[in-house]
A and B are shown apart, each in its own frame.
Chain A
Amino acid sequence: RKEVEQDPGPFNVPEGATVAFNCTYSNSASQSFFWYRQDCRKEPKLLMSVYSSGNEDGRFTAQLNRASQYISLLIRDSKLSDSATYLCVVTRYSSASKIIFGSGTRLSIRP
């Protein structure tokens, strides 16, 4: 079993829809959580950090559920430009070798 797992998708939703996906992690010692966005053939870019209290940035909301060991990303009023692969990242404070990327969830927004 992978330490960080994501539904690979693709999620294909109409413009304006709300879409959500989760990322589960297996190590309860995980400390920091992030969502990155990666466009086709480009580098990942930080979308948002995920805090214990949850956080929101415009149309994007990230939440952390430590009890069930998952993080989620909710996108409201989706735009065509939201089409990308979304990577979740789980880290532990002890060393850089414990920064683990999920394989990503592909999102495609249709007109």
Chain B
Amino acid sequence: DGGITQSPKYLFRKEGQNVTLSCEQNLNHDAMYWYRQDPGQGLRLIYYSQIVNDFQKGDIAEGYSVSREKKESFPLTVTSAQKNPTAFYLCASSIKTSGNANEQFFGPGTRLTVL
């Protein structure tokens, strides 16, 4: 079955640590995205990638980093510079980023808690 997987489902981090969230898709989608969702709020875009080896900052990129070395994978690193990292992180993909092919499909999410 095609889909998007994220791991881990739950992640606990001590202050000052960097952590990396995994996102893999086998939908053959060109575009991938990372969002953050806080309680009672909508999704906010952290980073997105339209193609391998290319990525762009979203609205709240500070304290995060990404890579896109393979089409299937778009890992997100939450660095110690992110001041309020506790949130629900969602990865998504779409065929492309524009036009009528930008319907997004989401992974199950990772809940990150900073202790």
A residues lining the B interface (CB < 8 Å): 4, 8, 32, 34, 41-46, 49, 87, 89, 91, 93-97, 99, 101-104
* Those 5 A-B pairs whose CB atoms lie nearest each other, nearest first: A96-B97, A43-B106, A101-B42, A103-B42, A101-B43
CB pair B105–A102 under 8 Å, yes or no, is no
Assess the B109–A42 pair: CB atoms within 8 A.
Answer: yes
Task: Verify A49–B103 contact, CB threshold 8 A.
Answer: yes
Tell me whether B95 is interfacial, beta carbon within 8 Å: no
Chain B residues within 8 Å of A8, by CB: 40
Residue in A closest to B48 when the chains form the complex, CB atoms: A96
Q: What is the CB-to-nearest-CB distance from A28 to chain B, in angstroms, rounded to a whole number?
A: 18
A45 to B44, CA, bound (A): 16
Give the number of chain B interface residues (Cβ < 8 Å). 29
Cα-based distance from A104 to B41 in the complex (angstroms): 7
Asked whether B50 lies within 8 Å of A43 as measured between CB atoms, the reply is no
Give the number of residue pairs across the A-B interface with Cβ within 8 Å: 60
Residues of chain B with a CB closer than 8 A to A91's CB: 102
22 contacts between A and B (CB under 8 A): A32-B100, A43-B90, A43-B106, A43-B108, A44-B106, A45-B106, A87-B42, A87-B43, A91-B102, A93-B99, A95-B97, A96-B50, A96-B56, A96-B98, A96-B102, A97-B45, A97-B56, A97-B57, A97-B59, A101-B35, A101-B44, A103-B41
Contacts of A87 in B (CB 8 A): 42-43
A8 to B50, CA, bound (A): 32
**Does B58 sit within 8 A of A, measured CB to CB?**
yes
Inter-chain contacts of B100 with A (CB < 8 A): 32
